Amino acid sequence: MALLMGITTMIRIMSKIPRKLTEAAFYDCSVQCESAKMVPPGVSMQYHMALIKRVAELEEKVTVLSVKPSMPKEKEELLNATLNRVQSLEQELAASKKALDEAFTRHDELQASIEKKMKKKKKFVSHLNSDAASPRFLCSLTKFKNLVA
C-alpha cells in the first residue's frame, strides 16, 4: 500500500514539473520583452569618452601586471642555493630534535634508576640502624672500614 502511494505521489509531482518550467520560461520571455520596450536613460558624450579612457588605462595596467618579469640567472641560482640550505637546516633540526628526545628518555630512565637505588639505600640504612647494636654488625663495620682505609 505504501509503495502504491509513493508511486502515485511521484507521478503527480512529475506531471506538475513540466508545467512549472514552461510557465517560468513564458514569464522570463515577457519580462525580457517588457524590458526591451523601456527607453534607456541618456548618456552624455563626455561621460562616454571618460569611461572609454578609464577602460583603456585599466587595460594597459592589466597588460603591464600580467607580463611576468624574468629573473636573472644569478638571482635564480642564489635562490636555489638558499632553498637547498634551508632544506639541509631542516634536516639537521629534525636530527637534533630526535637526539634531544632520546636524551630526555635516557635522562628519565637514569633518574628512575637513581630513585630506585636511593629507595634501596634508605631501606638498607634503616635496616642497619635497627641492627646497630648487634655484635655481628659492629664486626662487619670494622672489616669494611679496614678495607676502605
Claim: this prediction has a pTM higher than 0.75: no
Backbone angles phi, psi at 131, to 5 degrees: -95, 10
- pLDDT of 1: 72
Q: Cell triple for residue 33?
A: 520583452
Q: What is the pLDDT of residue 93?
A: 96
Domain borders along the chain are 1-34, 89-149
Closest CA to 85 of 96, 77, 97, 73: 77
Please give the pLDDT value at position 137.
Answer: 58
Q: Which three cell numbers stand for residue 11?
A: 507521478
**Cα four-point dihedral sign 59, 65, 66, 72:** positive
CB 121 within 8 Å of CB 130? no
- Annotate 97-118 with DSSP letters as a single string: HHHHHHHHHHHHHHHHHHHHHH
Angstrom distance (rounded) from CA 111 to CA 105: 10
The pLDDT tens digits along the chain (149 residues) read: 777 777 777 777 766 665 555 555 555 455 445 554 554 567 788 888 898 999 999 999 998 888 877 778 899 899 999 999 999 999 999 999 999 999 999 999 999 999 988 888 777 666 656 555 555 555 665 666 666 55
Radius of gyration of the chain measured on its C-alpha atoms: 47
Sign of the Cα torsion 69, 70, 71, 72 reads negative
Say what the pLDDT of residue 145 is. 60
Q: Within its chain, how far is the Cα of 101 from the centroid?
A: 23
